[in-house]
Amino acid sequence: MKLLRYGPSGQERPATIDAHGRLRDLSAQVADIAGDTLSVASLDRLAKIDPTTLPLVEGTPRIGPCIGHVGKMVCVGLNYSDHAAESGMAVPTEPVLFLKATTAICGPNDDVEIPPGAEKVDWEVELGVVIGKTARYVSKADAMSHVAGYCIVNDVSERAYQLERGGQWDKGKGCDTFGPLGPWLVTRDEVPNAQALDMWLEVDGKRYQNGSTRTMIFDVPTLVSYISQFMSLQPGDVISTGTPPGVGLGQKPNPVYLRSGQVMRLGIAGLGEQRQRTVPATTGAAQ
């Protein structure tokens, strides 16, 4: 089952995709794709609904982040051995964790804003893991029972903020619009092997990232279990599991970074595609 949210920012409505790829409204069944909607019982109930009995969504509305009211977004750094190598960093012996501000989350096709003065904005296609049941000190063997499904994340990063401004990575990861999420939450039953998904990213039609979750250092069950030892994972939380090689920072002989007016396209097998245009950030107190 593919679940999504559509409509203006802040006013998104829940929907699903029918067999013909059309949007079907779920507003009469659930308030949002968030929280308790992601429980096993709730997802089982939604899966039993014939999509053709649901209202058809006309036109081409904006697609919002596939999860609403995300409590926290936990990211994993250097989780692909080949990406660690291109970054000139050692392969970690334990998962490297950081938090991405939830205010960074935006729709999969929304504009990505270049912050004022930013010069090293980079891209990262990543597999997102969506939590469906509270995970607290869970074992690796039990970890997958806490996963509702998967989505695409673009972990947009400002490398100077991340690596050259002191402190932790968070300041380079949390700028507004630096967390496109979606287009869909694909439920776990439709992804039989999360460690065998091809993934890619292009900028202005040039393919930079061409990888696979096969090369992840720490797999999904390991990450869910590991993170749950340090913080409880709640329904609707998202884990962004790291990126394969091909980021702008790793380009040879010189890094390549995003400029305003470019277009990113990225996808993961079975999870859809995203498309973002880069624009200058709007400054000022009132937006």
Tell me which DSSP letter residue 108 carries: T
Show the tokens assigned to 199. Answer: 């993934």
> How confident is the model at residue 267, as a pLDDT?
98
Q: Residue type for 282, please? A: T
Distances in whole angstroms, Cα of residue 284 to Cα of each of 101, 112, 116, 287: 20, 17, 11, 7
Structural domains in the chain?
A: 65-280 (3.90.850.10)
CA dist 194 and 196 (Å) reads: 6
Nearest to 186 by CA among 254, 129, 114: 129
Pairing assessment for the beta strands 105-106 and 179-180 based on DSSP bridges = parallel
Ranges of residues in the chain whose predicted pLDDT is under 50: 286-287
Q: Whole-prediction pTM value?
A: 0.95
Tell me which DSSP letter residue 227 carries: H
User: pLDDT tens for residues 132-160?
Assistant: 999 999 999 999 999 999 999 999 999 99
